[in-house]
Structure 1
């Protein structure tokens, strides 16, 4: 193989069915939305740090390389945010006008292409090495032809581009440094162990091009590392890289699985898992709104960490899917911003604790300053006042830091990992400090003033007139997330055996927060978004919606059929009326704009009809998704990757109310199974539903906590097998089992 390198136990035991390999997406036309400021429509691959977008046409392949840690650390977008390192163009003139077929295979994490016309056919394979900073492209032609290679980095946006050679290695670098307001430098290097220019493809003789990227955030010798690896790449090394890649992805797919006898949803379930795993990896920078699939500078919202749900949501399915390690990178940006968050709280609100703007980046970066000049402010926001909140975009919301705490609590409940809890406890405690100060005790209840349900800001639509909309009182978003926080503080502090003296206050807050507001209209009680507000739009009868779901159900997790059946009935009634606002298939829950990852699992948790949820989910996917399997919405990108996995997982297993429930919202006439999904309490659970009956439930107790479980057999006796030996029999609608760390339990009908 020619090689060129561009571096940048019982009788009743039932086997858990092995699901079919994830089906690939096949693209039959060149991508029409690549490059883009949002999600590209091309085939995608990644290793959680480097993203490969396979764009272009048969005559000119355009490989775009994104990287989660390559940022222009400027505090305003457009201009600031994640940036494009560069790409590789491969031009084969003989393929102009050829047929286009590109297959994105999640099983192997490989993109395969087939480009044919009379007299010539070229096959390609492209992948991002799971364990190395290497992108691989393999070309095989049926006819002698020339392929032109051009390694490039984009000019502009204050980036400094250099290129050169070192021995037989050609390299390109791009750097952001030494410009006003830039908070830290970023450098990236790509290197090729052949001159820029032509290579020859001979019939049946594959040529492999590999691409590796290093930044200064990877290592201090970022350029030297790229050049040295380019010079040293050989065929045996590439084979070792592929072996490590194949093993990583095999292990990934073995971690958990589901089978629901619905090929379409299974295809999107596993593709969404693939795209998330391609976007996020421990030890690397966290993915922003578009993950590492960057095809231009100045992406929408700077591709930043948007804290009023966009940053948090992509991770939500990872906990129940047993991919907890893929969430390791989530906390660091929030921890890094704490010093600035304390300054915001003290200087802007005279509060203890932390107060975060709507958007941040890595390494303590704020991405969401108002434009720096009145002229630019007027152009973009219809007002010359660019000093609102000292120039930072809080948009009327105080809840962003607590919103960030939600994922920390979800991970803690999923693992009860004390080492992890100690790492994030200072952040949680700083949130508690802030809200102890901010809450007001009025008439025996804690109330929340001027924390807004939605973003309140000047813009072109309101012609810069916005202050009259300020004044939300007891927003359901705020009430729910604050209750979530203090419930979490009680649990985490108890496990860590710290701050016992503060728990009485925290308990008092949990039990005395203002009730969630409701109203009766036309004889039906429904949820109100806020108790009161000067903003006219709150007076409309909305009922349960995406933002209130965030506070109450996901990620707030303070409501549900176990927690408060009567209030849950109100929420369920609201979901039943979502169809009232639909004008066409795919609009259920008003999720075309935002919220598919929120409204669908939220509907599952309140107990809405399972079959209708699945049908509405499929209609929503058909209404707005790309040929590569990415479900799209107008307001964001990576958060939709949680939508299908989380919806399905919550149908098969729930535990967020402290009680494990298998198939809690599933049509028992439909066979289904799941293997190694994760439940709160640090339990890993598997089960099979067949012929209308739960055949068995297998549970691994990682931390030896008590297991409260809803009886899968409608109150009938349940036999418990512990580590392969028959143990006790339990019964009742709900039962509790004591467990030991590492113990394996099997439950079967008695």
Structure 2
């Protein structure tokens, strides 16, 4: 090749692939922000706060209070009271910064949550006085910055507080003009490990008076800078907090702000979508922002409320609830190309393996691992029954506080396997050898349990006594709860166990491990019980379980949230590509959701739980996309907060996956390792996406305009064979490799080999 031709190839390749790093921050995310015209009403709270939010995936800042008494609540994913019962145990609140501005009593309130910059701003006005506030949590350090300016002179009085009570030990002091506070859980009956936190504050731009107050002059800028460490971060947690606060000055903060903005710019460059619907795009990018502020690789995994904890004893202890709440927040991250944000997911599960083996052996006489409903970090169990018969009777109407050895399994054996779904999503999305080696022991322990637990009867594997829903004593069913035990072949169990053994075959083959066990695993997959269906009003519909003593479980309930977990998310064993005949039954069940609606926003019955499950599942089975989006908008309008967090009664951060996953599944799917672009999208509506991640470790971009797909662009990370449904049915397709025309493909579905790092483009052959 001569130099001129070489330059032409390079230039054409750059033109083809130059937009691979197009930033959603620059295009779309920057358009959307959350606006607040009144002070938050749900701060503090045991559940989801409604105030402006900022975070770095470890530290969360929640703004509460009124203009004259602003409260900046500081949560942290690794600050736990490691006690096995809630309330009392679970994630805890380190403390808060209170800023009193008495001149603003009764002032007007205005704030913004600016998501592309991960910044909270506020303007509080009363007559001629206007006070402006900016707050952000550094994306790259344990630092929080709160900045104030004013149009007229006024007095600010900041106070850093550590939460007290709940057996905590508190200290406070001043070191070289650095104010600091600490909170620690150090000892006590059943405390599994100590946990301590320090917060240190430095004032820049002014000097505090003896009483701690600051005189803010017109147009003067002051900054309250807080550093925050736990003993999970550093054994010298207190010293480090104070030392880093001392070292912060204006040049250091400027560098920190530069790194902060660069981190978020990179975050927004990972992927983007453009669907011509400002309402849905607003919630799409808001959900991505909130997840980016909630979860970070290398840090503790977020619990139910993420780091946005505003009081002790959050609902359900803010723990890792393993029967979907813990897993669901991550589901959109894989296809959105936020793989590094999911890097904290596995550690709590791995840390609990020794206890899980003990549970399996002691309680069931089985091999492998058996997990309760809720755990925490570092091998912590959070879901023990109340420790005394009296407390048990008060809360659950029975004095039996040693059910299942004193642990809440709630009739469910499947909790450990639930998390395998996330592990497989990441594995199939990356084909990362190191990651596969990390998760394989956990998956193998799950396989050990289910090989032991399954029964082979009449030519099929069946599952006894694993329950579709939680079965437990409570104030309503009193002593009859045991009469509800006995589910046989729950759709949840059958689907997730099938998923497990399909995954075992794939991951063990990839790692070249345990070849001698694959015959058994293949036999289980092939002979696993079918999902149970029955006729309703002249059509077939899904049953929740094959048999159950519970009237609710034994009925024909159709496809619902819990069944979806086994079949579609995270199960991934059903869909149009897997079994088109069975998929028609599921599609009919989704269509029947309209008949069960009791009001606006109640399609799929997701006000309590399941918005992140039911809407993407409806997309996957092929229900009309325009109807789905209409119902999703209704659901959001009925139950969401000013900070754009879509809420559910039974959980918190899980809802952050709802809109991104629904949209991603409309624009691209890759389950069963077949890539489909715009598989469930109204072709009359223009849309485009960049760098959505597909199974096989492909980054995919495409554009639909005036009813035509203009191109499909891909980057191959792992060099695997690509299988794709033809984006142009009936047409021949030109494959372009690294800017050069290569083979021509045709057929309803085609495949082609790829190389690591290869850039690929597919376009329709003119005239074909």
Q: Does 1:702 align with 2:711?
A: no
Q: Does 1:37 align with 2:37?
A: no
CA distance in 1 between counterparts of 2:475 and 2:152 reads 57
Residue of 217, 220, 230 corresponding to 1:215: 230
**Does the Cα contact within 8 Å between 1:22 and 1:270 map onto a contact in 2?**
no
Give a deviation string over 1:247-281, Cα, whole Å, max 9, x none: 00001001100000000000000000000010000
**Worse overlay, 78-87 or 167-176:** 167-176
Q: How much has 1:590 moved relative to structure 2?
A: 0.4
Residue of 27, 39, 45 corresponding to 2:36: 27
Q: Does 1:272 align with 2:281?
A: no
CA distance in 2 between counterparts of 1:82 and 1:527 reads 38
1:5 corresponds to which residue? none
CA distance in 1 between counterparts of 2:275 and 2:178 reads 51
CA distance in 2 between counterparts of 1:380 and 1:552 reads 34
Give a deviation string over 1:721-740, Cα, whole Å, max 9, x none: 00000011111110011111
Residue of 625, 631, 648 corresponding to 2:663: 648
Equivalent runs, 1:628-639 vs 2, <5 Å: 628-639=643-654
**Does the Cα contact within 8 Å between 2:544 and 2:555 map onto a contact in 1?**
no
**Does the Cα contact within 8 Å between 2:94 and 2:183 map onto a contact in 1?**
yes
Residue of 134, 139, 149 corresponding to 2:143: 134
1:176 corresponds to which residue? 185
SS at match of 2:245: helix
Q: How much has 1:465 moved relative to structure 2?
A: 2.4
CA distance in 1 between counterparts of 2:706 and 2:578 reads 31
Q: Does 1:667 align with 2:676?
A: no
CA distance in 1 between counterparts of 2:439 and 2:249 reads 43
2:7 corresponds to which residue? none
Say what the alpha-carbon RMSD is for the aligned residues: 1.2
Q: How much has 1:12 moved relative to structure 2?
A: 11
Q: Does 1:60 align with 2:69?
A: yes
Q: How much has 1:656 moved relative to structure 2?
A: 1.0
**Does the Cα contact within 8 Å between 2:687 and 2:705 map onto a contact in 1?**
yes
**Worse overlay, 539-548 or 43-52:** 539-548
CA distance in 2 between counterparts of 1:15 and 1:579 reads 44
Residue of 442, 446, 470 corresponding to 2:457: 442
Residue of 627, 635, 655 corresponding to 1:620: 635
CA distance in 2 between counterparts of 1:161 and 1:11 reads 58
Unmatched tracts of structure 2, length 5 or more: 1-11
Q: Does 1:105 align with 2:120?
A: no
Unmatched tracts of structure 1, length 5 or more: 1-8
Q: Does 1:190 align with 2:194?
A: no
Q: Does 1:258 align with 2:273?
A: yes
CA distance in 1 between counterparts of 2:167 and 2:202 reads 28
2:158 corresponds to which residue? 149
Q: Does 1:608 align with 2:623?
A: yes
Structure 1 residues 10 and 231, CA gap change in structure 2 (3 angstroms)? closer
Q: How much has 1:464 moved relative to structure 2?
A: 3.8
2:249 corresponds to which residue? 234
**Does the Cα contact within 8 Å between 2:702 and 2:712 map onto a contact in 1?**
yes
Q: How much has 1:191 moved relative to structure 2?
A: 1.2
Q: How much has 1:43 moved relative to structure 2?
A: 0.3
1:545 corresponds to which residue? 560
**Does the Cα contact within 8 Å between 2:287 and 2:656 map onto a contact in 1?**
yes
Residue of 314, 325, 341 corresponding to 1:299: 314
CA distance in 1 between counterparts of 2:104 and 2:96 reads 20
Give a deviation string over 1:87-110, Cα, whole Å, max 9, x none: 000000111111111100111000
2:471 corresponds to which residue? 456
**Does the Cα contact within 8 Å between 1:22 and 1:266 map onto a contact in 2?**
no
Q: How much has 1:490 moved relative to structure 2?
A: 0.3
2:3 corresponds to which residue? none
CA distance in 2 between counterparts of 1:747 and 1:616 reads 34
**Does the Cα contact within 8 Å between 2:492 and 2:563 map onto a contact in 1?**
yes
Q: How much has 1:192 moved relative to structure 2?
A: 2.0
CA distance in 2 between counterparts of 1:490 and 1:539 reads 32
Residue of 720, 726, 732 corresponding to 2:735: 720
SS at match of 2:480: coil
Q: How much has 1:11 moved relative to structure 2?
A: 13
Q: Does 1:467 align with 2:482?
A: yes
Give a deviation string over 1:560-591, Cα, whole Å, max 9, x none: 10110000000000000001110211101000
**Does the Cα contact within 8 Å between 2:416 and 2:446 map onto a contact in 1?**
yes
CA distance in 2 between counterparts of 1:344 and 1:496 reads 29
CA distance in 2 between counterparts of 1:22 and 1:46 reads 20
**Worse overlay, 479-488 or 9-18:** 9-18
CA distance in 1 between counterparts of 2:516 and 2:547 reads 35
SS at match of 1:577: helix
CA distance in 1 between counterparts of 2:648 and 2:31 reads 23
Q: Does 1:327 align with 2:332?
A: no
